[in-house]
Structure 1
Amino acid sequence: MLSAPGLLFFILGCAALTAPYMTLAANRIVAGDGFRAWQLAAPGPSVLALGVLAAGLAMGVLGAWPTLRVIGAALGLGALIWLLTLGSTTLLDGAGEYARVSPAAGFWCLVVVLALLLADGLTNLSPGPWARLGILGVILGLLAALLTSGLLSQLSIMQEFSSRKPAFFDALSRHLWLSLGSLLLAAIIGLPLGIACYRKPRLQDTLLPALSFLQTIPSLAMFGIMIPLLGWVGDTIPGAQAIGIAGIGFAPAFIALVLYSLLPVVANTAAGLGSTPPAAQEAARGMGMTFIQRLAKVELPLGLPIILAGLRIVLVQNIGLAVIAGLIGGGGFGAFVFQGLNQTAIDLILLGALPTVALALVAGVLMDILVALTQPHTRHVSESAP
């Protein structure tokens, strides 16, 4: 039996091979010349690498064995890395001191296709939350080993990283502070508001539309609104600038992210508490529980998966929105993105964009695992396991 998604991925992968796989440029700024995958090395290694890639894509077509689809995706990704290393050495040979090689559209399309094939195979295997955590750990470990091995050191993006290593880790720290810190503050504010909305539906009818209105404001406009407001606070209130409150920088970006985060937190908290079965509420009342006891022992535990789903939305959203903070001096990976745009340096843009995407994917998977662990069925299985 054939897998329809696997067949689609096979066709898309074959089409991606017709696009340039790598580019060679005279320096980091000018546009490079594209080279197809079979032009990157001698015929023998190229044919072997392409054969492994084609075999990996073909294994994805077999619908009855999802494990083979996972193995095929892993083989295909390994072949992609092999082609990169072959191409880097071949293209840079005699190209000049300032020459740069970079992955091109064909490579990125194949990465997406094989990642989707891997996700499809894992979905059909239906691993439990702890197995998913283990798989994520293996993937991150392999990625870390690859990046630190030096195999990709000739690529332009790795050279950008090497020349900006301290700035990169500073941007990573600032990006995490923006996204995780705004999530924490939004939770501190939003969870009590969500409980209040659950208790008083009239408050919910007033508050949620107001928070929805904040979501309609474009992110650039929101950051722009924060600049004059916090600039006035910093100039007017003694000591405000000493703690970092100013028109540009970390503070306006952080507050804007908190405002964007409130709607999912408040709405999902109210919805999660409201999802408690009436029978469970009546039983709690019959046992003489107070409101606080019902909230702590019945409603919050049963509504926790929905509440965590709201926090997941906020975390992934804030990791992406934090990039725009680079426009107002907020730091984070957005600084690399906008520097690259100003310099027309694609690899500098990727140095900011790719870690952002990776952070969002990892955060989303971790939050999904946490949501799964809080599901009543999952908790029951975990507690009854020997």
Structure 2
Amino acid sequence: MNIDKVAGLLATALTASLLALPFVSLQPNRILPGEPLGLLNAAGPPGLWLLLLLPLCLIKQGLKLRLLLTSLALLLLLYTAGNTATNLLADASPLARVSLGAGFWLGLFWLLLLITDTTLQLKLKPPARLLLISLLSGSVAALLASGHCDNLSLLKEFHNRSDFWHQGLRHLQLALGSIIPAVLAGIPLGIACHRSPGLRATLFPVLNILQTIPSLAMFGLLMVPLSLLATAHPWLGELGIRGIGAAPAVIALFLYSLLPIVSNTALGFDRIDADIREAATAMGMSRRQRLWQVEFPLALPVILSGLRVVVTLNIGLVAVAALVGGGGYGTYIFQGLGQTATDLVILGALPTLLLAFLFAMLIDILIAQQQGRHA
């Protein structure tokens, strides 16, 4: 049998994690620590089927088969967790909870790495990658929507939070509300820095200094002037511009977004071959036509790379903005920390990670499409 070394290493780590670490934990309530239980002791037959699938992921030949098997293993992992929770709570007290253990989370991590490695080896085109993500996400969503996993403590926390989707919308509003103005300001500034070395030498150090300010310090620095503005001009407060809330969060995230966008825009235009510009000029293009029809499309992949950094950074930083009343999934993280409720922390952290991953993948697909056009 021909073994893929990377897949073999990942599958071995996956098996070891599932066998050696606790798969779930049976807790007396949502706060107190519980009894850790291994996969074979807690899961029964579904756990055995999961372990039987893993050796098949080592086969080097048939990457499509490996992708199918790892995707099935991912769904089986979630199904096994839900089935385990239902069985354990059958004879437990009404306050008892079943939390996912380190074995589950590490197993999920290794499975996602296996799927990613297989996808890269298949060299799927952007539309195929998007279709794969959609099918996998839809299958997971369908399993969760079926109610099979509702006995897990994480799902109980989800059902107890009626504002979950509202907080998700708030999270996106804060992230995108800072990115859109940063793109509108950053791209022209990047083009100007490309054309003016003096402006680049002045602007880049300022943006670098802003980037080094810790997020909590940035929020704190903005709270005082915004509070004074709202006090002096009450109509600004009515518009939502106050020392706490969305205003300091959006302004801080806007400032953090400028450096990656400005620097990548300038870099993208710097990399354009001078001969291409000369050819466009020789064809009779004006400066504006050359900018939008030739230079900007060629620089776009590099600009999108900077945007990818900004999106993942901002989605993560929005969680910290909950400390100044910004809202979003960070609210659950800090509530969970205050209540020592681990599953509530995960309820805030997990969708934040998923949003960052989803947007990063979408931008990667755009970059690949743009590079394919100019290959």
Are 2:60 and 1:59 aligned?
no
Provide the rounded CA distance (Å) in 2 between the counterparts of 1:107 and 1:4: 23
Tell me the CA shift for residue 156 of structure 1.
1.0
1:209 equivalent among 200, 205, 210: 205
User: Equivalent residue for 1:28?
Assistant: 30
Tell me the CA shift for residue 14 of structure 1.
2.2
Q: Report the residue type matching 1:176 in the other structure.
A: L
User: Equivalent residue for 1:294?
Assistant: 290
Provide the rounded CA distance (Å) in 1 between the counterparts of 2:53 and 2:310: 36
Are 2:297 and 1:304 aligned?
no
User: Equivalent residue for 2:239?
Assistant: 243
Provide the rounded CA distance (Å) in 2 between the counterparts of 1:344 and 1:131: 42
Tell me the CA shift for residue 225 of structure 1.
1.2
User: Equivalent residue for 2:188?
Assistant: 192
Provide the rounded CA distance (Å) in 1 between the counterparts of 2:103 and 2:148: 20
User: Equivalent residue for 2:349?
Assistant: 353
Are 2:155 and 1:158 aligned?
yes
Tell me the CA shift for residue 71 of structure 1.
2.2
User: Equivalent residue for 2:9?
Assistant: 8
Which has the higher mean CA deviation after the structures are superposed, 53-62 or 274-283?
A: 53-62
Asked if the contact 1:56/1:74 (under 8 Å) is kept, the reply is no
2:373 equivalent among 353, 356, 379: 379
Asked if the contact 2:301/2:370 (under 8 Å) is kept, the reply is yes
Are 2:95 and 1:98 aligned?
yes
User: Equivalent residue for 1:125?
Assistant: 122
String of CA shifts for 1:61-106, please: whole Å, max 9, x gaps.
Answer: 2223322321231232133123212211221122101111111110
Provide the rounded CA distance (Å) in 1 between the counterparts of 2:78 and 2:290: 55
Q: Report the residue type matching 2:27 in the other structure.
A: A
User: Equivalent residue for 1:70?
Assistant: 67
Are 2:279 and 1:283 aligned?
yes
1:320 equivalent among 316, 326, 336: 316
Asked if the contact 2:154/2:343 (under 8 Å) is kept, the reply is yes
DSSP-derived class of the 2:131 partner: helix
Tell me the CA shift for residue 380 of structure 1.
6.5
DSSP-derived class of the 1:118 partner: helix
Asked if the contact 2:11/2:114 (under 8 Å) is kept, the reply is no
Q: Report the residue type matching 1:37 in the other structure.
A: L
Number of aligned residue pairs: give it.
373
User: Equivalent residue for 2:359?
Assistant: 363
Tell me the CA shift for residue 230 of structure 1.
1.2
Q: Which ranges in structure 1 are unaligned for 5 or more consecutive residues?
A: 382-386
DSSP-derived class of the 2:99 partner: strand
Asked if the contact 2:40/2:48 (under 8 Å) is kept, the reply is no
Provide the rounded CA distance (Å) in 1 between the counterparts of 2:159 and 2:30: 14
DSSP-derived class of the 1:60 partner: helix
Q: Which ranges in structure 2 are unaligned for 5 or more consecutive residues?
A: none
Asked if the contact 2:298/2:374 (under 8 Å) is kept, the reply is no
Provide the rounded CA distance (Å) in 2 between the counterparts of 1:184 and 1:103: 37
Tell me the CA shift for residue 155 of structure 1.
0.9
Asked if the contact 1:3/1:60 (under 8 Å) is kept, the reply is no
Which has the higher mean CA deviation after the structures are superposed, 276-285 or 232-241?
A: 232-241
User: Equivalent residue for 1:82?
Assistant: 79
Q: Report the residue type matching 2:224 in the other structure.
A: P
String of CA shifts for 1:125-145, please: whole Å, max 9, x gaps.
Answer: 010011111111112211221
Provide the rounded CA distance (Å) in 2 between the counterparts of 1:373 and 1:82: 36
User: Equivalent residue for 1:112?
Assistant: 109
User: Equivalent residue for 1:384?
Assistant: none
Provide the rounded CA distance (Å) in 2 between the counterparts of 1:78 and 1:263: 40
Q: Report the residue type matching 2:373 in the other structure.
A: R
User: Equivalent residue for 2:330?
Assistant: 334
Q: Report the residue type matching 2:22 in the other structure.
A: P
DSSP-derived class of the 1:24 partner: strand
Provide the rounded CA distance (Å) in 1 between the counterparts of 2:12 and 2:304: 38
Relative to structure 1, the CA distance from residue 179 to residue 139 in structure 2 (aligned partners, 3 Å threshold; closer, same or farther) is: same
Provide the rounded CA distance (Å) in 2 between the counterparts of 1:126 and 1:52: 29
Q: What is the root-mean-square deviation in Å for CA atoms of aligned residues?
A: 1.4
User: Equivalent residue for 1:147?
Assistant: 144
Instruction: Give percent identity, aligned residues only.
Output: 44
Which has the higher mean CA deviation after the structures are superposed, 146-155 or 83-92?
A: 83-92
String of CA shifts for 1:216-258, please: whole Å, max 9, x gaps.
Answer: 1111111111111211221123411011111111100111000
String of CA shifts for 1:317-367, please: whole Å, max 9, x gaps.
Answer: 111110001111100000000000000001111111111111011111001
Asked if the contact 1:62/1:68 (under 8 Å) is kept, the reply is no
